[in-house]
Amino acid sequence: MSRPSGIRRWLALLACFCILAIAFSFGLFSLPAFYPVLIKQFGWSHAAAAAGGSIVLLLIGTFSPVVGWLVDRYSPKAVLLGGVLTVALALTLLSGARSLGAYYADCLLLGIGTSAVSILPNSILIAPWFERGRASAVGLINAGIGMGGIAPTLANSQFAHRGAGGTFLFLAAWMAIPFLLTLLIIPRGSSRSVSAASPAKAGVDAPGAVALLRMPLFWIFGLSVFFAAHSMVAVQQNLILYLRGEHVGAARAALALSVAIWSSAPGKVISGAIADRFSARMGVVFSVVCIGLGITTLLTADPGSGLIFLFAVIFGLGYGGIFNATPSIVFEYFGARGVGAVMGLFLVFFGLGTSSGGLLAGYLFDRTHHYAVPFTLDLAITSAALILLLASARQTSISARARLGTALASRTS
């Protein structure tokens, strides 16, 4: 397959942006807005309601190796089409969920679909077409996740006249947009064929699972992403519950979460630019610092004051950058050819972090009745991620040089 024309690759980038803004974001980010409604309607605990979001987030990460294998075996386009349909089905089923068992089963399906439309297939799709500024291109499409921050406010605006079930159906109908864009704009075969057609530019073959697990770089970045993802999602998933408990109105609480997610859009672009200009490690450091500063602001600010929106902006910048971390790391150290399985393994850390964060924060609140306890713990975990990144400078530099040497030897043989 020949390289797509300039206009075609930018259209594909636009399609990926919309996929992440709608198919990935609407189900994931709207769930916290449903928690107060579900708690009131069914009498569930905070932890029980938040567990639905944790299931979705867990599947986004733990199902990623399967998604990566499917991308390498077939194509990003095929995976994305299946993922959009699965998200639509899951949201439709959630509209009729009346028990915790049904709720969790539907969230499981939503997690599988969301994993299939995540940063993994979208990043691999566009990476071979943007050899220069690849991390910035990834940041641009991931900015769509930030635009998906409209989801909590959009869902909250529908509860009054649609109820929870009707609002889930309303969100499901939106999946027609990314489905049609994927079907009509993204080329057949997508980047799998493009990568194979230009191996010298796409990079050397990625390592297998055993070799990857032996690399210190894998564990350094993996644990850093785990810590950061755990902390940021603990706050994101429980923010509305925290603000409502502090007597902040539903609309203002949903807006605060939306502002945080909207702010993640420039956070993705900024962290991508830092990764291109300096290194993927520095892009992650920027994001972790923003998350820590955001949580500090949340812990010290009056929930009813305008400072809550300052928190949302600072926190959102870091929240967005962590979504960039995995593709930026993989493309910097392993190139863009056949890296679906590698990216999937890295994303397991992301999935374990995101799924445990919201659940643990909800559990600690149920035991202490104060969100200061889990949020303070999240600040400490964020600090651990930063310390690990700062202490790993020499090791990541060694890994980069070793990878470059392998690439040069492969290309001259």
Q: How confident is the model at residue 201 (pLDDT cuts 50, 70, 90)?
A: very low
Q: Who contacts 11 (Cβ-Cβ below 8 Å, separation ≥6)? A: 185
Please state, in angstroms and rounded to a whole number, the distance separating the CA atoms of residues 269 and 262: 12
Burial class (CB in 10 A: 0-12, 13-18, 19+), 22: buried
Per-residue pLDDT at 295: 94
Query: Does residue 413 form part of some domain?
Result: no
Copy the structure tokens of residue 164: 């929870």
Query: Does residue 182 form part of some domain?
Result: yes
Per-residue pLDDT at 411: 43
For the chain, give the mean pLDDT: 82
Query: Does residue 412 form part of some domain?
Result: no
Radius of gyration of the chain (CA): 20
Per-residue pLDDT at 36: 86
pLDDT digits (tens, 9 = 90+) for 81-127: 999 999 999 999 999 888 999 999 999 999 999 999 988 888 888 87
Query: Does residue 186 form part of some domain?
Result: yes
- What is the tally of structural domains in the chain? 1
Q: Tell me what the mean pLDDT of segment 31-54 comes to.
A: 86
Cα–Cα distances in angstroms (integers) from residue 94 to residues 105, 136, 167, 302, in the given order:
9, 36, 10, 35
Q: Tell me what the mean pLDDT of segment 139-148 comes to.
A: 79
Let me know: does 170 contact 46? Beta carbons within 8 Å.
no
Q: Tell me what the mean pLDDT of segment 56-65 comes to.
A: 84
Q: How confident is the model at residue 357 (pLDDT cuts 50, 70, 90)?
A: confident
Rounded to two decimals, the pTM is 0.70
Max mean pLDDT range (60-64, 174-178, 235-239): 174-178
Please state, in angstroms and rounded to a whole number, the distance separating the CA atoms of residues 408 and 155: 51
Q: Residue with structure tokens 């910097």?
A: 332
For 113, the enclosing helix (H) or strand (E) is helix 100-116
Query: Does residue 50 form part of some domain?
Result: yes
Cα–Cα distances in angstroms (integers) from residue 265 to residues 10, 72, 121, 148, 271, in the given order:
18, 28, 19, 9, 10
Per-residue pLDDT at 338: 66
Let me know: does 183 contact 83? Beta carbons within 8 Å.
no
Copy the structure tokens of residue 348: 């397991």
User: Which residue type occupies 306?
Assistant: G
Copy the structure tokens of residue 307: 């400072």
Query: Does residue 327 form part of some domain?
Result: yes
Per-residue pLDDT at 377: 94
Per-residue pLDDT at 395: 62
Query: Does residue 1 form part of some domain?
Result: no
- Nearest to 26, CA basis, from 108, 88, 97, 103: 88
Q: Which residue has the higher pLDDT, 123 or 177?
A: 177
Per-residue pLDDT at 1: 40
- Domain span holding position 195: 6-406
Per-residue pLDDT at 205: 59
CB atoms within 10 A of CB 105: 16
Query: Does residue 411 form part of some domain?
Result: no
Lowest mean pLDDT among 166-170, 190-194, 338-342: 190-194
User: Which residue type occupies 177?
Assistant: I
- Nearest to 340, CA basis, from 126, 76, 87: 76
Percent of the chain with pLDDT over 70: 87
Per-residue pLDDT at 101: 92
pLDDT(306) > 50 = yes
- Nearest to 175, CA basis, from 299, 26, 322, 312: 26
CATH of the domain at 327: 1.20.1250.20
Q: Tell me what the mean pLDDT of segment 242-254 comes to.
A: 87
Let me know: does 371 contact 242? Beta carbons within 8 Å.
yes
Cα–Cα distances in angstroms (integers) from residue 321 to residues 5, 269, 363, in the given order:
29, 8, 27
Q: Which residue has the higher pLDDT, 397 or 201?
A: 397
Q: Residue with structure tokens 């940021």?
A: 232
